[in-house]
Amino acid sequence: MSGEGRPQVSVPHAPDLRVAIVAIRWHADIAEQMLRRALQAAEQAGTAEPRVVRVPGSMELPVVCQQLTHAYDAVVALGVVIRGGTPHFDYVCESVTSGLTRVTLDESTAVGNGVLTVDSREQATLRAGFDDSIEDKGFEATAAALETALVLRGLRGDYSSERGFL
C-alpha cells in the first residue's frame, strides 16, 4: 500500500447533490466503518442524508450502483475483497473494478470506488478509516465522487463556475 502521490483529501461544499452509498455485508465490521466514514464525508459536504443500500457482496455492487445513477448525482461503492487461496480473488476484483468503471462511463455519473482489494484483513483495517488506520477509503471515495459530480455538473453547464470548479 503505497499511497505515494495521493492528493490531499478535501470535501467540496455540495449541499444540492443527491448521494447514494452502496455497502456490502461481507466483512461487516470493516464495511460498517467505511460506511460511517462515507456518511461523515457526505455530512461535511452538506448533502442531504445519503440513501444507503446494502448488498450481499462486492459482485453485486456494479448493478446496484448502475440503478442508483438514475436518481442520484453521485454513488459510492463500498466493499472489501480479501485474497484467499484460489484465483477467485482475481476474478472478483477484476469484475467489480470493470463493472464500476463501466457504470461510470455508461451513465456519465460519478461513482466512487471504495472497494478494498487486499491480501489480508490487517491491510483492510489499515485502509478502512479506523482511528489507527493509515488510509480512509470510505471517506476518500465519497469526497472523490462528490467532487467529480460537481465537475460533471460544471461541464454540462448547469453549475456555476464561480464555485471554483471550472
**Residue 121: inside a domain, yes or no?**
yes
pLDDT of 161 strictly over 50: no
Annotated binding-site positions for 5-amino-6-(D-ribitylamino)uracil: 26, 58-60, 80-82, 113
70 is catalytic: no
Among residues 13, 27, 70, 88, the one annotated as catalytic is 88
Beta strands in 28-148 (DSSP E): 51-55, 74-82, 110-118
Q: Looking at this protein, which amino acid is placed at residue 59?
A: M
The pLDDT value recorded for residue 47 is 98
**Residue 2: inside a domain, yes or no?**
no
Q: Looking at this protein, which amino acid is placed at residue 70?
A: H
**Residue 141: inside a domain, yes or no?**
yes
pLDDT in tens, 91-122: 999 999 999 999 999 999 999 999 999 999 99
Assign 150 a pLDDT band (cuts: 50, 70, 90): very high
pTM: 0.91
The pLDDT value recorded for residue 51 is 98
Number of domains comprising the chain: 1
pLDDT in tens, 9-56: 899 999 999 999 999 999 999 999 999 999 999 999 999 999 999 999
Tell me how far the alpha carbon of residue 95 is from its chain's centroid: 16
CATH at residue 152:
3.40.50.960
Annotated binding-site positions: 26, 58-60, 80-82, 85-86, 113, 127
Q: Give the residue numbers spanning the domain of 136.
A: 17-158
**Residue 58: inside a domain, yes or no?**
yes
pLDDT of 84 strictly over 70: yes
What is the number of other CB atoms lying within 10 angstroms of the CB of residue 112? Answer: 29
